[in-house]
Chains A and B, each alone.
Chain A
Amino acid sequence: MIIEQPIMLKIEKIVEEAKDIRTFIFKHQLDSKPGQFVNVWIPGADEKPFSVSYQDDGRFGITVFSVGTFSKKLNSMKAGEKVGIRGPYGNGFTLKRGHVALVGGGCGTAPLAFLANELKKAGSKVEFITGARSIDYVLFVERMQKAGISTQIATDDGSCGIKGFATDLLQDILKKNPGISMVYTCGPEIMMKKVVDLCDMHRKSCEVSMERHMKCGFGVCGQCCVDNTGIRVCKEGPVFSNDSIKGIFEFNKYKRDSSGKKVPFNVCK
């Protein structure tokens, strides 16, 4: 019997990944697939969903970027303290054998790091592309290199890798490697839209990981249902193929807040 309630887990280890970004490691057999997420509860504060960014040998990790009240609070916690975890939830990425490219933007790179490790283990050739504001925010480069994964970086200010967007790197890689059979992406929707367009142009399959405001995580509250299909991001997603993403009218246009009101992307903080 599955019970949808948080279990309290001790933070075993904290990895400083970049400025304001830390990975929390828990000793727990989560058995998640790359692209799935867990809900993290700080008793007395709130609970939010986070992608699994690491999983190995009875341990898993989430990567937290200090952006709001909750993530700041979480990032101020220390090893040995406990948080509540429930999940994993969602569908996850499909593991494609062969030559693949991963495109992550900002903290959206988190689920892709776990995916890259799993793809590599499955024998795929992985191109890992990550985009960040500046060198201070670049994620997982050392971890990827240690795993023997080819990594390319784009920053807004050119302080690390190329000056430009992760999608510029993807365009280049797709041109040079006609054998690439699948592209995975997670990050800002404006970036993911570009990835989908590039994949269409180059006739590549693509999987996109979307984020919407969620409450339950298990498909009943209806908060994360997207227009116009009404499908649930927490259940039928968060990973969608480039074909199904085209049915999601609101993609790269708007999302809903916790009241259910629409919030356009261009005015959202």
Chain B
Amino acid sequence: MVDLSTKICRVRLDNPTILASGILGVTGASLVNVVKNGAGAVTTKSIGIEPRKGHPCPVILTYDKGMVNAVGLSTAGIEESSAEIGFAKKNSRVPIIASIFACSVKEFGVISKEISKAKPDLIEVNISCPNVESEFGRPFGTDPKISADVTRSVKKNTNIPVIVKLSPNVGNIGEIAKAVAAAGADAINAINTVGPGMAINIEAKTPVLSNKRGGVSGPAIKPIAVRCVYDVYDATNGKIPIIGTGGITYGRDAVEMFMAGASAVGIGTAVYYRGIDVFSKVSMEIKEFMEKEGHSSIKEMIGVAH
């Protein structure tokens, strides 16, 4: 018998596929629809305190190897987003992960406290959106000290387990992982989008995205994501659960992530490539691989490539 269940901190997932933040997670009903399509857990689109409309369109494009996006952290704000989480909690049985963003270390504390009232199973701290800068003029996630400060600020304001989502766009991701782990992070998600990147329409002679630059996701970034998870696992001695996100499209990609050190995988862009039921497809493919290779649990594959 093959066991697809896994754990992130004390939270159990029936299968290791997690809807990544930023894809389909605007509403509670949409999250529930993703659960119906096989996800083991689902993550909201990043939530901020005040409503934000985001950038004018185009905000998302695809190219031959992936996707580039700069939606601009649109959010309905804490009040309405909490109601969406409530809907998702009430109408599904899988863990709901609330992704949060803020513009200062202090504000991260405020939003953690507020979002905790909606009782998500996990809180994911987005310190790595390439389109938002901290009060210090660069993404929070590029500096180990600021990343640790944000983590502490969040931990101080909630009892819910905290995942910190890291940026790949740093010199040494292991160093950031160590810093947030020491600051109390319960889990790490690696990685957020790569870049930023850009696509120019050569007839219009102008970048396609209204924000010009956008985070790159999809199959093209998978090797970067696998290496980052591998580095994070090394840096933290395999002691902290990792969600491996970035280019996961097929079951084999997920297994590669487990072997690099991930306990679960985030899936986002693959919704475009394989449809909204990509979660059940990937689960099935993981199961088939495990049966073929004689693995009985996800746990026994985690970190074996080290």
Q: Digitize B19-60: 1 where CB-to-A-CB distance is under 8 Å, 0 elsewhere.
A: 000011111111111100000000001000001111011111
- CA A258 – CA B52 in complex, angstroms? 8
Q: A residues within 8 A CB of B272?
A: 218-220
Q: A225-B29, A259-B74 are in contact. Are A216 and B60 (CB under 8 A)?
A: yes
Stretch among A172-180, A200-208, A226-234 lining the B interface: A226-234
- B30 touching A5, Cβ below 8 Å: no
Tell me which of A41, A220, A256, A257 has the highest count of chain B C-beta atoms within 10 A of its own C-beta. A220
* In-complex Cβ contact of A5 among B28, B61, B80 (8 A): B61
Q: B residues within 8 A CB of A227?
A: 27, 29
- A221 touching B52, Cβ below 8 Å: no
* In-complex Cβ contact of B208 among A5, A215, A258 (8 A): A5
- A48 touching B63, Cβ below 8 Å: no
Q: A259-B75, A260-B27 are in contact. Are A43 and B206 (CB under 8 A)?
A: yes
- CA A11 – CA B272 in complex, angstroms? 30
* In-complex Cβ contact of A222 among B24, B53, B201, B269 (8 A): B24
- CA A44 – CA B23 in complex, angstroms? 25
Q: B residues within 8 A CB of A120?
A: none
Q: Does B223 contact A (CB under 8 A)?
A: no
* In-complex Cβ contact of A219 among B51, B84, B208, B276 (8 A): B276
Q: B residues within 8 A CB of A215?
A: 54, 57, 59-60, 71
Q: Does B76 contact A (CB under 8 A)?
A: yes
- B76 touching A41, Cβ below 8 Å: no
Q: Digitize B185-206: 1 where CB-to-A-CB distance is under 8 Å, 0 elsewhere.
A: 0000000000000010101101
- CA A84 – CA B271 in complex, angstroms? 25
Q: A residues within 8 A CB of B268?
A: 220
Q: How far apart are B208's CB and chain A's nearest CB, in angstroms?
A: 6
Q: How far apart are B268's CB and chain A's nearest CB, in angstroms?
A: 8
Q: How far apart are B86's CB and chain A's nearest CB, in angstroms?
A: 13
Interface bin, chain A: 35 or more
Q: Does A223 contact B (CB under 8 A)?
A: yes
Q: Which of A1-38 contact B (CB under 8 A)?
A: 1-8
* In-complex Cβ contact of B26 among A1, A6, A225 (8 A): A225
- A260 touching B58, Cβ below 8 Å: no
- B271 touching A219, Cβ below 8 Å: yes
Task: Report the nearest B residue to A47, measured CB to CB.
Answer: B57
Q: Does B77 contact A (CB under 8 A)?
A: yes
- B33 touching A229, Cβ below 8 Å: yes
Q: Does B300 contact A (CB under 8 A)?
A: no
Task: Report the nearest B residue to A257, measured CB to CB.
Answer: B53
Provide a sorted-by-A list of 10 A–B residue pairs whose CB atoms are within 8 angstroms. Answer: A41-B58, A43-B201, A219-B276, A221-B23, A221-B59, A222-B27, A225-B29, A225-B30, A259-B52, A260-B26
